[in-house]
């Protein structure tokens, strides 16, 4: 018999945009399979768990049932600076698509690898006319989201809420998972996976630079006030890796 997901209760401890979005480093660096509206929805849901006491967010408390969060169009509109109709439309669409979205992670072993696919959600509901959706995260994904004490990525929702590109958000998240060192040096394959770059960009670094890297860097510099640059690692003429160096710009944060 399937167990009922644990429901995250409503709290008003602090504004949603000031709450933290947290996940395991492995999830932050994986191929998450989310478009921008879905990324916004998942991040908003995770920000709501930040209002919960840590003792209530452990897997031992949740068991193996996953957990459920309700999100309103008003919360979405406030967090992402969109009107209420747009907020409800994006929430509803995200609820529809999240049921089919999967996280893909890889475990390298010798010359081979294992690809692991995990569903984000086990159930998604939307209430017509009332402006809310409710999503239930799977037990498998919950272990990457709740009660994390080591090896996790965390940032305030308002650090990413102004971003308008999924590539900017994914790059931001990957960088945040390495913020203690201020350096992220993925292989080119790891970068392709984390950004979920189109195949045309994976096949042509010039296209990757033009459509993924440079626009993402520009938006992070402008909207999140990051001092960030990168260099290439090459084997002959072939790009085999990237080295990103970054820090928060000391001149002060921009008004989001």
Q: Does residue 171 register a pLDDT over 70? A: yes
162-250 matches 17-161 in CATH topology: yes
Per the prediction, the chain carries an average pLDDT of 86
What integer pLDDT is reported at residue 53 of this predicted model?
45
Q: Give the model's confidence band at 24: pLDDT under 50 very low, under 70 low, under 90 confident, else very high.
A: very high
State which fold the 17-161 domain adopts: Arc Repressor Mutant, subunit A (1.10.10)
Between 11 and 133, the more confident residue is 133
Burial track 54-67 (b if 16+ CB lie within 10 A, e otherwise):
eeebeeeebeebbb
Q: Give the model's confidence band at 148: pLDDT under 50 very low, under 70 low, under 90 confident, else very high.
A: confident
pLDDT 10s digits, 34-78: 999 999 999 999 998 885 544 444 444 444 678 899 999 999 999
Q: Does residue 23 register a pLDDT over 80? A: yes
Q: Does residue 115 register a pLDDT over 80? A: yes
Which CATH class for the 162-250 domain?
mainly alpha
Virtual CA dihedral for 26, 166, 136, 98, nearest 10 degrees? -120
Between 13 and 232, the more confident residue is 232
What integer pLDDT is reported at residue 17 of this predicted model?
80
Residue range 187-216: average pLDDT? 96
Residue range 75-89: average pLDDT? 93
Domain extents for the chain? 17-161, 162-250
Q: Does residue 255 register a pLDDT over 80? A: no
Check if the beta carbon of residue 103 is closer than 8 Å to that of residue 32: yes
What integer pLDDT is reported at residue 200 of this predicted model?
96
Question: Tokens for 221?
Answer: 């510099």
Residue 120 CB neighbour total at 10 angstroms: 24
Identify which of 59-68, 123-132, 155-164 has the greatest average pLDDT: 155-164
Minimum mean pLDDT among 41-55, 68-82, 127-141, 224-238: which range?
A: 41-55
Q: Does residue 250 register a pLDDT over 80? A: no
Residue 230 pairs with which residues in a beta bridge? 244
Closest listed residue to residue 117, CA positions, set 28, 46, 35, 32: 32
The CA angle 35-41-43, to the nearest 5 degrees, is 100
What integer pLDDT is reported at residue 18 of this predicted model?
86
């Amino acid at each position: 018999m399937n167990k009922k997901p644990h429901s995250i209760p409503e709290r008003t401890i602090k504004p949603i945009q000031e709450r933290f979005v947290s996940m395991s480093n492995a999830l932050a660096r994986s191929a998450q399979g989310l478009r921008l509206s879905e990324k916004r929805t998942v991040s908003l849901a995770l920000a709501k768990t930040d209002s919960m006491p840590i003792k209530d967010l452990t897997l031992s408390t949740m068991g193996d049932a996953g957990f459920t969060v309700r999100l309103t169009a008003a919360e979405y509109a406030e967090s992402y600076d969109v009107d209420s109709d747009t907020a409800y439309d994006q929430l509803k669409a995200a609820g529809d698509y999240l049921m089919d979205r999967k996280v893909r992670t890889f475990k390298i072993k010798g010359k081979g690898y294992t690809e692991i696919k995990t569903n984000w959600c086990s159930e998604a509901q939307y209430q017509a006319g009332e402006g809310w959706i409710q999503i239930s995260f799977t037990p498998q994904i919950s272990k990457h989201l709740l009660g994390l004490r080591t090896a996790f990525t965390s940032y305030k929702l308002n650090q990413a809420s102004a971003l308008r590109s999924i590539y900017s958000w994914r790059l931001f998240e990957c960088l945040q998972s390495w913020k203690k060192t201020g350096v992220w040096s993925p292989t080119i394959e790891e970068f392709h996976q984390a950004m979920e770059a189109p195949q045309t960009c994976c096949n042509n670094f010039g296209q990757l630079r033009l459509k993924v890297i440079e626009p993402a860097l520009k938006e992070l510099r402008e909207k999140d006030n990051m001092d960030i640059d990168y260099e290439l690692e090459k084997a002959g003429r072939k790009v085999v890796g990237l080295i990103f160096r970054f820090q928060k710009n000391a001149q002060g944060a921009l008004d989001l």
